Structure 1
Amino acid sequence: MPFRPPAALAALLLSLVPHPAQAGDAMTRSDPAAAPRVAAQLVAPYPQTRRDPLVETRFGEAVPDPYRWLEADVRNDAAVADWVARQNRVTSDYLARLPARGWFARRIRELTDYERFGLPVKAGRRYFYLRNAGLQNQPQLWVRQGLDGTPRLLLDPNRWAEDGATALDAWKPSGDGRFLLYSVQDGGSDWRVLRVLDVRTGQALPDTVRWAKFTALAWVGNEGFLYSRFPAPAKGQAFQQLSYNQSLWFHRIGTPQEADELVYATPDRPELGHVAEVTANGRWAVITSSAGTDARHAIHVVDLRRRGPQRWQPRALVGGLDHDWQLVEALGSRVWFVTNRDAPRYRLVSLDLERPGADWREVVPEGANKLERATIIGRKLVLNYLQDANSRAVVVDLAGRPAQELMIDDIGTASGFTGRPGDAETFYTFSSFNRPATIYRLDMATGQAKPFAQPALTFDPARYLVEQRFFASKDGTRVPLFLVRSRAVAAAGKPVPTLLYGYGGFDVSLTPGFAASRMAWLEAGGAFALANIRGGGEYGKAWHDAGRLGNKQNSFDDFIAAGEFLIAEGITAKGRLAIQGGSNGGLLVGAVVNQRPDLFAAANPAVGVMDMLRFDRFTAGRYWVDDYGYPDREPDFRVLRAYSPYHNIRPGRDYPAILVTTADTDDRVVPGHSFKYAAALQAAEIGPRPHLIRIETRAGHGSGKPTDKAIEENADVLAFLAEWTGLQVPADAAAP
């Protein structure tokens, strides 16, 4: 997941973007209650899990926690490592027997095997971009001199580790394109190592910075760069220690990390985090501080023209932690921000930093749709809006007067629009559930957008129907839902196995996007649905607030209502509905399964937050109190205790088939959450369907995962969901 400083810090700290031949030939069962092809008895007995007599009294209530020992780091605890190995053996044996497993693995691989590009980034006369030839485990970074120059390979992360699990994370060229600053991610961890490359020679400089995490990359000319880091963790605690005391530093090129200069820190407030951006004119460093995942920031600025020992003297621009402030850009001394101060759906404002006492001037007022971000390209502003979770882009002049609207006449997501003042062009991508990302070049003078890089596909997007529906939740709230099927399935009008995805938290908006695994599900004759439930950011602050803290149950009610809607509309039927969600979405899946086990046939809670009474004790978990509340405060405890997936498994009810997925190096949502939840499922009397856990090695919360690992995991998950919803893949399912 890319770092989007700093407004979407929630997405950085806790998020997972979601991850189905011919419709007429891939028939599903006519009987929705038909038994799966692989009987439950083929699951080997679950591994025995030690159960400790641990009970704590919290606010007068006895709270058992018999599997707390599974919170220990699997890399440093032999008992947990043994449990993981035994669980994986049982799960692997079961998944290998699934009839659809081979077909999904092959078809997902075929659908992944196409050339794809990242957005070009211009620096000086050079253009930098990512490219994956198709099945490379990690995309490569390329550079060319001018748009028509000869491409030159600059970085190939595929050479960094034999298993492909060391990834290029963020990267940023210096303003003139001379140097490249980049971060390296190993094994899916949130920790980053920062390195520098001489672009002309392709040679790595000796500069190395460690213990960076949740950082932006900000060049200060060619002199050096600003970055954020945490203190080095205690021995053996790198993957579990709480994230406190983030500070902002300046690293000068050619010097060791020990010589780095402290720019900004708040030792009296260790919970605050700080990231920096530098404006395109190189004059201002803008420091954004936050306490958690809420979009509530304090802003300081540094005038980079200063030199000497007084250089790093940040000046307060926005005090408190009351509203969201997203830096857009600066021209001279005037700076632009997107903010939700006095505007829950955001507005654009500007300020002259050289006018003491000057107040903010509104450039573009709040509108009916949420303003997601803005950029200055050339002498114009490009505004990105979200309308019912669909993208709109509008170009205005620097005074906010309309210039043009970019016509996006399909359901999908337009993103990018990066660049600098003075640029004659910008690039953006458009993607949807049935369309991998196409890159467009927008001429800022003429307003014409032309395709720049289009993928060559092995399927016909026109054969798939993408719709947006709306349904009523439990309290009558109107909630949007995207629905994707082949046109043949839609025309037949019969219920088919359906995969429903959700997230609903941290002000994160789910928008249409392509995934090879989803397309494989669709090709097999299934339907895919994505519900934009409350807690997300699709409609601004009110939508977020309606699905968090004491209102969190609204998220679960919305998701349950989405499942009921799909059945009532005849899209699917009882016994054919599977659900999936990752991270906060894993919590969502675990909670709704406990509340309505009868509604779902199968579930995949991925890297989920499953123990809501201890989430704040590990790594980034302490940030999440903004959305979840404080487990050590009684009012919040009562809410959390009522829906915590680990604590609310209900014996005596038949549960759906459940495949929990996590990874051993996940230091965002530590795998102990999933370990404890899976152990509790297996110990409970909740029916004959399998309740398994799949634990990936050398992987983390999702970002940086090698292509090979992603294909294998998606094939396992979809084969499992297909088995328990009755989805039959095409006749060549046995093909390797």
Structure 2
Amino acid sequence: MEYPNVYRDESIVENHFGIEIKDPYRWLEDPDSEETKKFVEEQNKITFKYVNDYEYREKLINKITEKYNYERFGCVFKRGKGENEYYYYYHNSGLQSQSVLYRQKTLDNEPEVFFDPNTLSDDGTVALSRISFSDSGKYFAYSLSKSGSDWTTIYINKIENGKLVQLDEPLNWVKFSGITWTKDEKGIFYQSYPKPGIGQDKSAGTETDQNENAMMYYHRIGTKQDQDILFYSEPENPKNMFGIDITDDGKYLLLIIDASCDPKNKVYVMKINGEINDKPVFNKLIDEFDAEYTLIHNSGSVFYFKTSKDAPQYKIVKVDINDSSKKFVDVIPQNKNVIDGVLFCNNNSFVINYLYDAKHSLKVFDISGQYKYDIKLQEGSIVNNFDARETDNELFFRVSSFVNPGTVYKCDLRNSSCQELKKSIIKNYNSDDYVVKQKFYPSKDGTSIPMFIVHKKGLELKGNNPTLLYGYGGFNISILPFFSPIWMTWIYHFNGIYVVANIRGGGEYGESWYEAGKLDNKQNVFDDFQWAAKYLINLKYTSPEKLCINGGSNGGLLVGACINQAPELFGCAVADVGVMDMLRFHKFTIGHAWVSDYGDPDKEHDFKTVLKYSPLHNVKDNTEYPAVLLTTGDHDDRVVPLHSLKLISQLQYVAGKSTKKPLLIRIDTKSGHGGGKPVKKRIEEATDKISFINKNIHAEWYD
């Protein structure tokens, strides 16, 4: 490959704890410089030329578009009271940029469009981020994100005859925020950050300023944003973030405080008496970051929480907040299954979504913790979402799997009877044509790791099948079975094998599984992924030449580390929006919140730990690398693009001298970390990625 000539500034050398670190591409940290813009243009030029030359490209994009063009339904949820009570759900007719929010008075009524984000932009890059209905259903607040940025703007509306009437000016500079109505419907709580230092001609989301000094505001309807009450902030702890929960009876407010991405939080409780002001008086119920606490329900002063306190699989506990001892009592103890989610509904029931071996089961208990019954799920299904209010006897849930594009059910909790409400059906698709297997393989240290393997029925395993291995491994996030029209198209037309490895660092087996893949244990994550590749090769599913690895965000780091540590195992690697500079990740936007997983590079021990695997700092010379494609978006203000820009420069400069395969980057415009990306962009990106993969692992087309 002929790569652009990228300037190296050899003068930037820093001493960290006695170790000299060069950073020749630091100039790429400025996203707005003319030099960076030229770099992006030159890199995209060679990348798009390469993927556009793929011989099956036109067939591929047509088939992906055809498979993507099916009705998709979100989980039904009920909101409002009396004449304002409606059922709501999201729906996409197939190729709409964004899903549309519908409502219906009864489940038998004809649904009507309630909110259509597709009317907000010509290219579909304005996305609905959050929604919140007031208790009566008379008011509706929502937030919008532009071009994939984490920055959002909140709009507050009254619902009149099914139409939205905007009440106040939009609320700006909102980030990582819920929208919480008070029960008196006089206002909302939201989290804001100081406005970043961007020029008038710049759009929010391309800046790299650190997100610090979060502020929890209360906005009273009928006032301007500059009159909003600063309800809570912690200038002494500028990295902390806040959320508000209000009990269903409207009598208590809970302030939730997070210090990082570690699932541990504080909980402060306040009795709501009259108007909200800037001098809240809290009962500091949990004042240490020692476990995760999530409110489920309260009965007067008795509060029920899901918690990881002394329970790595999670349990349900209760506490009387007026009891000075603050003693928590187990209601439903932990067992071998992880509590993935809990609802309190039907006035006396806990519906628990349990997770075991990366699959779900739904179980119902009464308020005393007594088991009642199971809600039957199809084998291998996962619950994407479930919803019911405290007084509702109707539970709605949506399930899917690798081969099921999605089915929505309603369950009557009074008699446990369930009925199918909505089902996605894809033209010319039959789930019986595919096989889904779950295997367990030993990692380097002998730990048994689960993986899912998906391929066409009857596929011969001769050790030469095109295979894509996907992983994440971090932040307590479980990677569960999911339906992808993109990868099902690839499996069908290229006899491909799609594999998901449930490596450590995720939440598949609770807190202990997460702890085994973070901080000093991070190498376990990379070992698990590499041993997954070896397992697939040894069992003749594929060969190194035919194997591609993929991951996004923390999974992009996974891919970046693995191609440095074991390049001989892979023929191709695609890293999406990855964290690649492990010495400086904490200096940009919300990166400081990730020290919970990676450690703090400003501390000697953590610095030396991350230096060992940082993708940017471990690129090898005189080594044959697999083909590498990095992807990022210009409005990714979660994992800022500089990570990928710097890594591709280092790869091309160092590995490009000895590697015959392409080392490329795809930088999308008006695109962020992935959330809210319109369907057209998803299809285009998928086509480019698969074109790159197939050219390098030599996947042949099958009709």
Q: Give TM-score, length-normalised by structure 2.
A: 0.95
What CA deviation, in whole Å up to 9, does each residue of 1:632-668 have, x standing for no partner? Answer: 1111111111111011111111111111100000000
Aligned pairs (5 A) from 1:474-623: 474-489=444-459, 495-524=464-493, 525-623=495-593
Deviates more, 1:597-606 or 1:716-725: 716-725
Q: Distance in 2 between matches of 1:260 and 1:700?
A: 29
Shift, 1:315, TM fit: 2.2
Q: Distance in 2 between matches of 1:86 and 1:465?
A: 42
Q: Distance in 1 between matches of 2:279 and 2:395?
A: 33
Q: What does residue 131 of structure 2 align with?
A: 171
- Name the SS of the counterpart of 2:374 in structure 1: strand
Q: What does residue 229 of structure 1 align with?
A: 192
Q: Distance in 2 between matches of 1:281 and 1:86?
A: 59
Match for 1:683 among 653, 663, 673?
Answer: 653
What CA deviation, in whole Å up to 9, does each residue of 1:562-605 have, x standing for no partner? Answer: 00000111111231100000000000001000011111000001
Q: Distance in 2 between matches of 1:310 and 1:288?
A: 17
Q: Distance in 2 between matches of 1:686 and 1:540?
A: 43
Aligned pairs (5 A) from 1:256-275: 256-275=224-243
Q: Distance in 1 between matches of 2:159 and 2:487?
A: 38
Shift, 1:354, TM fit: 4.0
Shift, 1:358, TM fit: 4.6
- Name the SS of the counterpart of 2:503 in structure 1: coil
Match for 2:48 among 58, 73, 92?
Answer: 92
Shift, 1:311, TM fit: 7.1
1:248 aligns with 2:216: yes
Contact 1:280–1:420 at 8 Å: present in 2 too?
Answer: no
Deviates more, 1:553-562 or 1:175-184: 175-184
Shift, 1:493, TM fit: 6.0
Deviates more, 1:450-459 or 1:688-697: 450-459
Shift, 1:674, TM fit: 0.2
Deviates more, 1:667-676 or 1:382-391: 382-391
Contact 1:217–1:277 at 8 Å: present in 2 too?
Answer: no
Q: Distance in 2 between matches of 1:66 and 1:645?
A: 15
- Name the SS of the counterpart of 1:575 in structure 2: helix
Contact 2:591–2:638 at 8 Å: present in 1 too?
Answer: yes
Q: What does residue 20 of structure 2 align with?
A: 62
Q: Distance in 2 between matches of 1:585 and 1:595?
A: 15
- Name the SS of the counterpart of 2:15 in structure 1: strand
Contact 2:231–2:278 at 8 Å: present in 1 too?
Answer: no
1:110 aligns with 2:66: yes
Match for 2:160 among 200, 204, 207?
Answer: 200
Q: What does residue 29 of structure 2 align with?
A: 71
Q: Distance in 1 between matches of 2:593 and 2:67?
A: 37
Match for 1:432 among 392, 397, 401?
Answer: 401
Q: What does residue 209 of structure 1 align with?
A: 171
Q: What does residue 456 of structure 1 align with?
A: 425
- Name the SS of the counterpart of 2:288 in structure 1: strand
Q: What does residue 15 of structure 1 align with?
A: none
Q: How many residues align?
A: 685
Q: What does residue 402 of structure 1 align with?
A: 371
Q: Distance in 1 between matches of 2:407 and 2:250?
A: 31
Q: What does residue 693 of structure 1 align with?
A: 665
What CA deviation, in whole Å up to 9, does each residue of 1:201-240 have, x standing for no partner? Answer: 4122234111111111211122111111111222348621
Q: Distance in 2 between matches of 1:303 and 1:232?
A: 32
1:468 aligns with 2:447: no
Contact 1:216–1:277 at 8 Å: present in 2 too?
Answer: no
- Name the SS of the counterpart of 2:612 in structure 1: helix
Aligned pairs (5 A) from 1:633-644: 633-644=603-614
Contact 1:578–1:602 at 8 Å: present in 2 too?
Answer: yes
Q: Distance in 2 between matches of 1:211 and 1:87?
A: 32
Shift, 1:331, TM fit: 3.1
Q: What does residue 332 of structure 2 align with?
A: 364
1:702 aligns with 2:674: yes
Deviates more, 1:631-640 or 1:497-506: 631-640
Deviates more, 1:336-345 or 1:556-565: 336-345
Shift, 1:515, TM fit: 1.1
Q: Distance in 2 between matches of 1:538 and 1:692?
A: 33
Q: Distance in 1 between matches of 2:56 and 2:668?
A: 21
What CA deviation, in whole Å up to 9, does each residue of 1:366-408 have, x standing for no partner? Answer: 1011111211011210011110111111100001100101222
- Name the SS of the counterpart of 1:598 in structure 2: helix
1:47 aligns with 2:4: yes
Q: Distance in 1 between matches of 2:270 and 2:701?
A: 59
Contact 1:70–1:672 at 8 Å: present in 2 too?
Answer: yes
Q: What does residue 37 of structure 1 align with?
A: none
Shift, 1:96, TM fit: 0.3
What CA deviation, in whole Å up to 9, does each residue of 1:383-434 have, x standing for no partner? Answer: 1111011111110000110010122241131132222111020111111111
Cα distance change of structure 1 residues 311 and 129 upon mapping to structure 2, 3 Å threshold: farther
Shift, 1:494, TM fit: 5.7
Q: What does residue 188 of structure 1 align with?
A: 148
Task: Provide the alpha-carbon RMSD of the alignment.
Answer: 1.5
Q: What does residue 161 of structure 1 align with?
A: 121
Cα distance change of structure 1 residues 317 and 208 upon mapping to structure 2, 3 Å threshold: same
Contact 2:230–2:278 at 8 Å: present in 1 too?
Answer: no
Deviates more, 1:275-284 or 1:643-652: 275-284
- Name the SS of the counterpart of 1:289 in structure 2: strand
Contact 1:144–1:152 at 8 Å: present in 2 too?
Answer: yes
Greater RCO, 1 or 2 (C-alpha within 8 Å, sep 6+): 1
Q: Give TM-score, length-normalised by structure 1.
A: 0.91
Q: What does residue 261 of structure 2 align with?
A: 293
Cα distance change of structure 1 residues 309 and 656 upon mapping to structure 2, 3 Å threshold: closer
Q: Distance in 1 between matches of 2:451 and 2:618?
A: 28
**What amino acid sits opposite 1:639 in the alignment?**
T
Aligned pairs (5 A) from 1:305-384: 305-307=273-275, 309=277, 312-378=280-346, 379-384=348-353
**What amino acid sits opposite 1:636 in the alignment?**
D
Q: Distance in 2 between matches of 1:574 and 1:504?
A: 22
Shift, 1:492, TM fit: 6.0
Q: Distance in 2 between matches of 1:355 and 1:652?
A: 67
Contact 1:412–1:511 at 8 Å: present in 2 too?
Answer: no
Q: What does residue 6 of structure 1 align with?
A: none
Contact 1:103–1:729 at 8 Å: present in 2 too?
Answer: no
What CA deviation, in whole Å up to 9, does each residue of 1:653-700 have, x standing for no partner? Answer: 111111110000000000000000011111122411000100000000
Shift, 1:162, TM fit: 1.6
**What amino acid sits opposite 2:113 in the alignment?**
L
- Name the SS of the counterpart of 1:197 in structure 2: strand
Q: Distance in 1 between matches of 2:76 and 2:298?
A: 22
Q: Distance in 2 between matches of 1:330 and 1:675?
A: 49
Q: What does residue 685 of structure 2 align with?
A: 713
Deviates more, 1:570-579 or 1:586-595: 570-579
- Name the SS of the counterpart of 1:435 in structure 2: coil
Q: Distance in 2 between matches of 1:299 and 1:397?
A: 25
Aligned pairs (5 A) from 1:131-146: 131-146=91-106
Q: Distance in 1 between matches of 2:277 and 2:613?
A: 53
**What amino acid sits opposite 2:158 in the alignment?**
D
Q: What does residue 21 of structure 1 align with?
A: none
Q: Distance in 1 between matches of 2:47 and 2:604?
A: 38
What CA deviation, in whole Å up to 9, does each residue of 1:431-485 have, x standing for no partner? Answer: 1111112111111111112111101212001111111100000111100001101
